[in-house]
Structure 1
Amino acid sequence: MSKLVVWGTPVSTYVRTVRLLLEEIGADYTLQSVDIFNGESQSPEYLAKNPFGKIPTLEVNGELLYETAAITEYLDATLADRKFSFSDPMLQARMRQIMAIIDSYFYGPAITTIVIQRLIVPSQGGNTDEAKVKNAIAPAQKAIEAIESLATPSPYLLGSQASIADFYLIPIFIYFSQTPEFEVITAQTPKLRTWWAQVSQLPNVKKVCA
């Protein structure tokens, strides 16, 4: 039995992506907190695990693995017999395509800008930069509408079985749905709104993302 340790801040969307997969698998793992807000991810101790100072990092029997796509693919292959991927090459490509859209085009405007400005800055006593939020709406909308065009939710993003793509998007929607921009940006994505209404109620989503 592998000894699994997930290093990362519990509120991180990417840490939650890995944890959602682990919970769905039913794997035994330890979450070791790395506080990105006080600089712990830039400490020499953590940089020895991940030279980029990003989270999460997965430790497997003493071996270290970072980058969420690599971690989730490894866990799916070794612990779930690829249950959360697809044997069909096109579906597998679609899954990776959605993951790449999230990484490259959606996470930045949705989380780094809108969520930070709407939820985090005010909670720390600051004022939302409305210009930044306004400029993030169009790219976030473009990205989410691209995902909408690829999704075939019934009830998951790509069919009847949850995939790694679902675990990528769920934690982002947890935060994003708390902003007023969510309604505007998802106005033309009815499939994703239906998907969100269903997956947001899943027990492991509530457990990991509470």
Structure 2
Amino acid sequence: MIVLYGVALSPYYNKVKIALIEKGVNFEEVFTPPSREETFLAKSPMGKIPYVEINGYALAESTAILEWLEDAYPTAALLPPAPNARARSRELMQLIELYLVEPARPLTAHLVFGAPLEDAQRAQADEAIRRGVAAVSRIVRVNPWLAGEDFSYADIVAASFFPQLSQVTGQVLGENLLAALPALDDYLARLGQRPSVARTWADRDAALAAFMARRGAS
């Protein structure tokens, strides 16, 4: 049995959850916020979520977990069969996480948690995300998935982050910067029809609604 620890608000948690559902393996979810407690650090060395326990073996970092799943459950593959296509999927995953997700962190913290946001931070994030979107657009091939014919790591990351990034840039910057990606609306609709994504999005939306309700009541 695989146990997934974290919270449904975390896109990185949802990244692993989608992969687990796609693989068709039995897993259990345990609500666990990040922590710096030593008992937590023994299982997730940076105190981050998600992490998994696999028959008592703890593993952190979402991409490492995806790679473990791909090795352990080669059927229902999450990477294309050809080496070039596999590399492209991994490349897109890294481009999205490094050059879209990372620069958007101050915007996300501001929108979700009410963290202060300076004008300089806003401008810097705007510029960096636009560069990231341009980079992804140069190599993405929606046919019908980001890396081609096969649903892969790239699509799992997109499903985990694109809705949040669209909302954050739209509300904080006044423009959905991801709208410049090729065929974005059709692609998101296709993602939402996939059972693993639909389930994860529904759980995320419920968790977000509950969080915002608690925040509004405090």
TM-score of the aligned structures, taking structure 2 as reference length:
0.81
Instruction: Name the CA distance, whole Å, in 1 between partners of 2:27 and 2:59.
Output: 15
Decide which of 180, 184, 187 is 1:195's aligned counterpart.
187
Alpha-carbon distance in 2 for matches of 1:28, 1:186? 34
Do structure 1's residue 163 and structure 2's residue 155 form an aligned pair? no
Letter in 2 for 1:209: W
**Alpha-carbon distance in structure 1 between the residues aligned to 2:124 and 2:98:** 17
- State whether residues 50 and 57 of structure 1, in contact with CA within 8 Å, keep that contact through their aligned partners in structure 2: yes
Structure 1 residues 56-71: aligned runs within 5 Å: 56-71=50-65
Which residue is 1:25 aligned to?
A: 23
Query: Which shows bigger deviation, 157-166 or 181-190?
Result: 181-190
Q: Distance in 2 between matches of 1:86 and 1:52?
A: 31
- Which residue of the partner structure matches residue 139 of structure 1? 128
Asked if structure 1 preserves the Cα contact closer than 8 Å seen for 2:166 and 2:177, the reply is no
CA distance in 1, matches of 2:196, 2:179: 27
Secondary structure of residue in 2 paired with 1:42: coil
Deviations 1:9-45 (A, max 9, x none): 2211111000001112222101122213xxxx21121
Deviation at 1:146, TM superposition (A): 1.2
The 1:187/1:30 distance shift into structure 2, 3 A limit, reads closer
SS of residue in 2 equivalent to 1:5: strand
Equivalent residue in structure 1 for 2:43, among 33, 42, 49: 49
Pairing 1:109–2:103 present = yes
Higher alpha-carbon deviation: 197-206 or 15-24: 197-206
Gap change, CA 1:127 and 1:71, over 3 Å in 2: closer
- Deviation by residue 1:67-91 (Cα, 9 ceiling, x = unmatched): 2111101112222436111221111
* Contact 1:176–1:182, Cα closer than 8 Å, also in 2: no
Q: 1:149 to 1:85 in 2, by over 3 A?
A: same
Q: Which runs of 5+ in 2 are unaligned?
A: 203-218
Aligned identity (percent) is: 28
When normalised by structure 1's length, the TM-score is: 0.84
- What CA distance in whole angstroms lies between the structure 2 residues aligned with 1:170 and 1:144? 16
The alignment partner of 1:65 has SS state of strand
The residue type equivalent to 1:203 in the other structure is: P
Matched, 1:93 2:93: no
- 8 Å CA contact 1:5, 1:30 repeated in 2: yes
User: Which of 158, 177, 192 is the aligned partner of 1:185?
Assistant: 177
- Counterpart of 2:215 in structure 1 is none
